[in-house]
């Protein structure tokens, strides 16, 4: 789950959102299947930054958001939609992995003979 902390600000009459913090899984904490396709979102450390940034890749979007960045309210709403879609996809993948793990993990035996056939 990704958590965004933000501040509502005004700049010369424009309503903006200023990011003040992010929380969420890193690239190494999500399943590989999740990373292969869009939408995807996770925390990453950009070179030269002291804090993690939020990486978002969705249809037509490749975005890094860092603490201190400001964006308009319309784009902020779009970002939230992308993040919701990415979170839904991650939940579905995690559920499938959990089900696969229950049926796959464990100790098994196989007796080797000249006519063995194994289905894994």
Domain presence at residue 85? yes
pLDDT in tens, 36-95: 999 999 999 887 777 889 999 998 888 999 999 999 999 999 999 999 999 999 999 999
pLDDT over threshold 90, residue 19: yes
What's the domain range around 79? Answer: 3-104
pLDDT over threshold 70, residue 120: no
Domain presence at residue 119? no
Domain presence at residue 28? yes
Domain presence at residue 113? no
- Neighbouring-strand partners of residue 10: 15
Distance CA 25, CA 23 (A): 7
Alpha carbon separation from 102 to 58, 97, 106, 108 (Å, rounded): 31, 9, 9, 14
Domain presence at residue 31? yes
Write out the two tokens for 92: 């579905």
Considering its fold, how many domains does the chain have in total? 1
pLDDT band at 5 (very low <50, low <70, confident <90, very high): very high
pLDDT of residue 28: 94
Domain presence at residue 70? yes
pLDDT of residue 119: 66
With contact defined as beta carbons under 8 Å apart, do 103 and 120 qualify?
no
Domain presence at residue 115? no
Domain presence at residue 77? yes
């Amino acid at each position: 789950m990704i958590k965004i902390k933000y501040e509502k600000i005004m700049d010369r009459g424009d309503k903006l959102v200023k990011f003040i913090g992010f929380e969420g899984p890193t690239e190494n904490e999500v399943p590989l299947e999740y990373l292969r396709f869009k939408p995807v979102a996770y925390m990453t450390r950009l070179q030269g930054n002291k804090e993690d940034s939020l990486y978002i890749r969705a249809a037509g979007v490749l975005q890094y958001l860092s603490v201190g960045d400001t964006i308009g309210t319309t784009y902020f709403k779009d970002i939230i939609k992308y993040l919701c879609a990415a979170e839904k996809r991650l939940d579905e993948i995690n559920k499938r992995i959990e089900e696969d793990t229950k049926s796959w993990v464990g100790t098994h035996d196989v007796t080797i003979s000249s006519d063995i056939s194994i289905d894994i």
